[in-house]
Amino acid sequence: MPAKIVVVQSIGQLGNRLFQFSHLIALAQAQGCQILNPSFWKYAHLFPATTGNLFCAYPEKHSWGAHRWTQATLYYLIRICYAAGFLRIIPGAYLLKKDWREGPTRMDSDVFRGLVSRFKIIFLAGSFNHKHPENFPQSWPKIRDFFRISETRKSRIKQHLAPLRDDSDILVGVHLRQGDVFTDPVRKDALDQPYYARKLQEVLALFPSKRVSFLICSNAPIESGLFSAFQYQLGLGDFVDDLYSLAECDYLLGAGQSSFSLWASKIGNVPRAALFKNQAQTLRLSDFQTDFSE
């Protein structure tokens, strides 16, 4: 029987959680594991594949009576068992705990393959940084389908972007991340709104003969006066609507360490320029890249 991989801790925000889950799907595709990710319960209602999916399982498995509160209850019961040390004494189970600051856990390593072949259940704790780069590109079609959004959400995004599309030749999505990036000491992408405004001006210079519009999505109020010279529209305000709206743009700008705009780039196959502090040079078209390696 294939091993079950169970994620017992909710660490990181949506972007990090999506990438963790994606690499777990790559593992499942490579080794036939079953993924049980109850820690994803906070975001389960946002995607058809995890709505009504009690364990947030891959392969997708829906259950009668699986609602947000039952998903949450299950997750916190597992957390209690983890905190009490019960997961360590389950026969045939192994608890792999590694702090996210220690770097990624390579699930395509011989060591991890050995754990999968030896144990029936592997509990993952302490990190969202689980990687399977070996099978990630090949698994991307399965991952992309698993994290599809509803037709209602697609329609809402299409309607919101229509005026921008009608009035422009090129639509550039901007993820203007604020807040926690300024307080996290490991961040090198804490960029204020005047910085983003300068970058938008540099984007216009890249397309002098084109009509360029911007979709600006942010987790903070926008200083509208800074952007009055641009043709722009704000995102819908819901973070999944904004995430998948960015994925519908032609180019993306985003904080360099943010997995939010990186996910939009990957899910929409949209070239993204990663922005960091102390970038002296102006933007070039070659700065917009799509990387599907991890």
What is the residue-level pLDDT of the chain in tens, covering all 294 positions? Answer: 789 999 999 888 899 999 999 999 999 999 999 999 999 999 999 999 999 999 999 999 998 878 999 999 999 999 999 999 999 999 999 999 988 788 899 999 999 999 999 999 999 999 888 999 999 999 999 999 999 999 999 999 999 999 999 999 999 999 998 766 555 556 666 788 898 999 999 999 999 999 999 999 988 888 989 999 999 999 999 989 999 999 999 999 988 778 899 999 999 999 999 998 777 689 999 999 987 555
In this structure, are residues 187 and 179 in contact, taking their beta carbons and an 8 Å threshold?
no
- Rounded to 10 deg, the angle between the 239-246 and 259-268 helix axes is 50
First to last CA, the chain: 28
Query: Beta strands 57-58 and 251-255: pairing type?
Result: unpaired
| Cα separation, 165 vs 125, whole angstroms | 44
CA-wise closest residue to 6 among 95, 89, 80, 135: 95
CB-based contacts of 281, cutoff 8 Å, min separation 6? none
Structural fold of domain 151-287: Rossmann fold (3.40.50)
Q: Which residue has the tokens 């405004």?
A: 197
Query: Which of the 8 DSSP states describes residue 289?
Result: B
CB-based contacts of 99, cutoff 8 Å, min separation 6? 126, 127
| Cα separation, 33 vs 28, whole angstroms | 4
Query: Which of the 8 DSSP states describes residue 209?
Result: T
| H helical segments located in the chain | 14-31, 41-44, 68-84, 110-118, 136-146, 151-166, 193-206, 239-246, 259-268
- Global pTM reads 0.92
3-class state of residue 202 by DSSP: helix
Q: Which residue has the tokens 């903070």?
A: 220
Q: What are phi and psi of 130, to 5 degrees?
A: -105, 125
